[in-house]
Amino acid sequence: MEELGRKTPEDFKGAGKFPLVIVLDNIRSMMNTGSVFRTADAFILEKIILCGVTATPPHREIHKTALGATETVEWMYEADTTDAIRRLKGQGYETIAVEQTTHSIDLKTFRPESAKKYALVFGNEVKGVGDDVLSLCDKSIEIPQFGTKHSLNVAVTAGVVVWDFYSKLID
């Protein structure tokens, strides 16, 4: 690990964070939650907000995929996702649902602005982002897909979208 130049947990906590918050809206799979923690760790994201039925650490199933990221990434629990969205908006975040809607913006064409703070909302594996949450978000973006399926696993989606934000803002 030393050869890879990895941060220690103490270094991670003191490091400047990439200004991106992830909101998980009623995620059922604890392995998906753990995978999102690993993505948040990989890109040194600001924090994760776990909402509704989304399980919270410590839990064996989350730890299987998080591999310690629950110890480095800041997180909090909020029972109602709409309360989390309202609070983030009050703190100046632009809230973006990652969801296929009639008004979604194609991820390829969306350009985040470096001066803004963003919160990305990822929804339930079956139902997606709740309608009540969608109505509060500033916009929605979607990953273009071309096969027979019209959705990706939520953890995969989080990885793709976070990488896209990171690559567009770091360039």
pLDDT for position 25: 98
Q: Is the pLDDT of residue 37 over 80?
A: yes
Where helices occur in 25-140 by DSSP H, the ranges are 30-42, 60-66, 81-90, 131-134
- Euclidean distance between CA atoms 111 and 11, whole angstroms: 30
Distance CA 28, CA 37 (A): 15
Digit-coded pLDDT (tens) for 87-133: 999 999 999 999 999 999 999 999 999 999 999 999 999 999 999 99
Task: Tell me the domain boundaries of the chain.
Answer: 9-170
Residue with tokens 């991106």: 20
Contact 63, 41 (CB under 8 A): no
pLDDT score of 143 more than 80: yes
> Please, what is the average pLDDT of the chain?
94
Give the predicted TM-score (pTM) of the model: 0.94
Q: How far apart are CA 92 and CA 131, in angstroms?
A: 22
d(CA 48, CA 75): 5
List CB contacts of 66: < 8 A, sequence separation 6 or more. Answer: 33, 34, 35, 37, 38, 57
Distances (CA, A) of 43 to 10, 85, 102, 135: 16, 22, 30, 28
Q: Give me the CATH code for the 9-170 domain, please.
A: 3.40.1280.10
